[in-house]
Amino acid sequence: MSTPSLGPDAATACWIRSPLHQDYLANNALKQLDFFRPSLQQKPGFHVLAQDGGTLDSTVQELHTTTRMIHSFALGKIAGVENCDAMIDQGMRYLFSHHRDREHGGFVWALDDDGIHDDRKLAYGHVFALLAGSSALAAGHPDGAKLITQVDAVLDRHFWQDEPMLFCDEWNRDWTPFSKYRGMNANMHGTEALLATYEATGREKYLDRAGRILDFFLGKIAPSENWRLPEHYTENWAIDRSYSGNPMFRPAGTTPGHSFELARLLLQYWDLRGRPDDGALQTARKLTYRALGDAWDGQSGGLVYTLNFDGSQAITDRYWWPVTEAIGVLAALLKCDPQPSDEDWYRKLWLFADQHFIDYAIGGWFPEIDAQGRPTEVQFLGKPDIYHSLQATLFPLTNGISNAYKGLEARLRP
């Protein structure tokens, strides 16, 4: 634990403007990138890292982990970090050589060594491929534009639905129907990818589609649900209150961590549109503070994983990613409309992350903690992901409130 380095003394008005806190963020980002460099393996793809930094036996590689690795090291390169190209190149090669389905088009979900482990075509994975393409393009990778073009065509043909202006979720490998499930999660990360691609290309199509998704979930659903966001929907986009899928990846009820993500994305969209007086700032604040009030564990700290529709806590397990997403939206609020409560929450969340999730002995962040606040491995083996925790350190360092590739340039350069 290293809490004295988090920021200056309590009298300092705003941590994100403090050189001491900025150094803390930059140092943690650099250490995360260093920890994940051993993911690079001699054969195609990436190793999954154990908590001690060694490699796990699993050879299954999912589309979102490949693309998140590209995105994360592309952000590192944009921020001025050296020796990121090998990781970006490895991920891009693996996307085109293994995840890409030459027979049916699109990208398969999971691979096992050189074979297909799970051949479904998921919107969730394809929007992360679009995000990887935009980040690679912004970082100067020669295949970034190619990846955007290929993924965009697949999203247009198979996932984007013009009538609801939303992404559907999943198909079989040959594009025959897999289910009628509709979900918020793929659309939320779709919004993330669309905004990033707009930043990288300037094409209005991506900004417009992001706005359509945000209008549905934050303009229609959130106000009618007391500023909570149901996760699951029927084929006709009615809330499916009875749905209960995988308790980790499609849990019942609502997921407050996603409220933080969507609130930040709304601020990014608002910023990219010139900050119009359209109520976006107030909507983002309502969404953020409803989730903080519902999800914070008043006894032990941290944010619980899921809520019931009335806001009562359901799955009380505590993971790293909701904390990182709350940090991201509070940093955005502090940049555009700072309130004392924003600063209080921003500090509280970083103090909790510093004490419980950051591994100062080995590197990286622990993905989950037990009831006593100690690292555990129940849902996640090892340290499988850099994406959430890296962005928690980088978003407060950007000049703007969006993903802002240009705002990140050279922020970590020695």
Please give the positions annotated as active site. 258, 388
Element (H, E) at 190: helix 184-201
Helices (H), 95-159: 123-138, 144-154
Give the residue among 113, 111, 109, 107 at the shortest CA–CA distance from 133: 107
Helices (H), 337-386: 340-356
Query: b/e for 58-94, b at 16 or more Cβ within 10 A?
Result: ebebbbbbbbbbbbbbbbbbbbebeebeebbbbbbeb
393 half-sphere exposure, CB direction, 13 A CA radius: 28
Element (H, E) at 282: helix 280-295
> Residue 45, by phi and psi: left (phi above 0), alpha (psi -120 to 50) or beta?
left
Structure tokens at 56: 């796990």
Q: Give the Cα separation of 340 and 62 in Å (integer).
A: 41
Structure tokens at 301: 């700290």
CB-based contact 98:119 (threshold 8 Å): no
Q: Give the Cα separation of 66 and 71 in Å (integer).
A: 9
